[in-house]
Structure 1
Amino acid sequence: MARERILVIDDEPEISELIRLYLTREQYEVYTAPNGQYIEEQIRSFCPDLIILDILMPGADGLELCRQIRKWTNVPVIFVSCKAEDTDKIVGLTVGGDDYITKPFSPGELVARVKAQLRRQSMLPGHNRPKTLVFGDLTVDLSAHEVKIGGQTVPLSATEFSLVVKMAEQPGRVFSIDELFDLIWGADHMGDTRTVMVHISNLRKKIEPTPANPKYILTVRGVGYKFSTAAD
């Protein structure tokens, strides 16, 4: 069985080496880079299953790199940063990140988050699921791991796609924010449930004709969200 591959981009050699050592112990294949100068070539040649990306780097920062990464792949991206403000985390998730961890962090926490992202990724698509889910002009293709609006592919992060699948597989069911967080990130994940709201907001901007008046992902006030059966 091939080992899962992780690309680490961080300009601090000590941090990169620490991450590499801990992930290698977990039997992952790890490639490190000091910056994203050759990010497209790195992705195409190494074919990572997950990317760990520092935000504050000379040249193109991690946020800009993530925007570029999303042009070529939707594999999970975990940001690492010394910036701990909520607004910084929201920006990171908005540009396509799947998770955000603040420096200094414990290696064990990072490993746990990596495992959670890869575990979730491996569950898509499932063997007993239909190949496609269709709601009007929106199509969720589980085999191709993509969403289309009117036949046009919409670039989604791995987390955004997981959220769409979880809700679209059970249209009309109301999911609480805590429930969605547990389903996507895992009940033992050490994150903030407000992350769900950020990703929902991102999704609406990408798949809703009018994000302020959504027809697919509806808010159930005081409870959570549901995928509308009226969308078709």
Structure 2
Amino acid sequence: MAVDEAGAALRALVVEDEMDLAQIVVSYLDRAGFDVEHVIDGLVAVERARVIDPRVVVLDLGLPSLDGIEVCRRLRTFSDAYVVMLTARSDEVDTLVGLGVGADDYVTKPFSPRELTARVQAMLRRPRVEQEGRPQNILQIGDLLIDLDAREVHVAGAAIHLTRTEFDVLAALAARPSAVLSRQQLIDDVWGLGWVGDPHLIDTHVGHLRRKLGDDAAVGRYIRTARGVGYRMGAGR
């Protein structure tokens, strides 16, 4: 059974207006031990998320009232739930836009409900990055401060709100500040070994991190690009 830190069943919110597909997804998550609620409307999804505080949201892109992108954007104003976006369109623009508002992963229809469930469970089992030799688990790069235990980030004293995935990507980079990490290394650190998906997913999350941290990609104040390889941390001017 999927349980939280208190031992209670984890809540999952499925937002999908294709009833046959929704019933299958709900069934798989239910069998995996989640306390699942299903809604078909975007506005209702935002309202229910405020009430039930889900750990995971499986979110279709095309919905009545509000599309999945707007639902995700609103969720991110009050929730750090893991969000898996479902889309019937496989072109890159939709994928990047969806992830740009804070989705953690995406699945293109048709998909295997078993694979979707495995991805959700993998997110919940993510390893947490730790730094050797720092008992307080505080990482610092210039005026960027990362508290691994509290999962808090500050830039020049100002608190920065990150999603779970954004924090995990940043922590993975900051744990080895002098090393260039490939996209695949970051995928392994954040999503775990065996994750199947597009490794360029990392590029989108790095772009989102840079925006929130006020980090110009051309300057690389905190996150620097190693062309053709991946990324590394480093305090720039």
Q: TM-score, normalised by structure 1?
A: 0.90
1:145 equivalenced with 2:147 (yes/no): no
Q: Contact 1:125/1:145 (CA < 8 Å) preserved in 2?
A: no
Please list, as runs of the form range in 1=range in 2, the aligned pairs for 1:61-140 lying within 5 A after superposition.
61-120=67-126, 123-124=127-128, 130-140=136-146
CA distance in 2, matches of 1:26, 1:39: 22
Aligned-pair CA distance for 1:127: 11
CA distance in 2, matches of 1:157, 1:213: 24
* 1:133-162 C-alpha deviation (Å, 9 max, x unpaired): 233322212233232222322232221111
Aligned-pair CA distance for 1:87: 1.6
The gaps in structure 1 that reach 5 residues or longer are none
Q: Contact 2:62/2:68 (CA < 8 Å) preserved in 1?
A: yes
CA distance in 1, matches of 2:57, 2:162: 15
Q: 1:21 aligns to what?
A: 27
Distance 1:119 1:38, change over 3 A: same
CA distance in 1, matches of 2:21, 2:64: 16
The list of structure 1 runs, each at least 4 consecutive aligned residues, that deviate by more than 3 angstroms after superposition, is 38-41, 123-131
CA distance in 2, matches of 1:162, 1:62: 23
Q: How many residues align?
A: 229
* 1:209-232 C-alpha deviation (Å, 9 max, x unpaired): 43432211111223221111x359
Distance 1:127 1:202, change over 3 A: closer
Please list, as runs of the form range in 1=range in 2, the aligned pairs for 1:152-167 lying within 5 A after superposition.
152-167=158-173
Q: TM-score, normalised by structure 2?
A: 0.88
* 1:185-225 C-alpha deviation (Å, 9 max, x unpaired): 22322201111112112211211343432211111223221
**Identity within the alignment, %:** 38
Aligned-pair CA distance for 1:22: 0.6
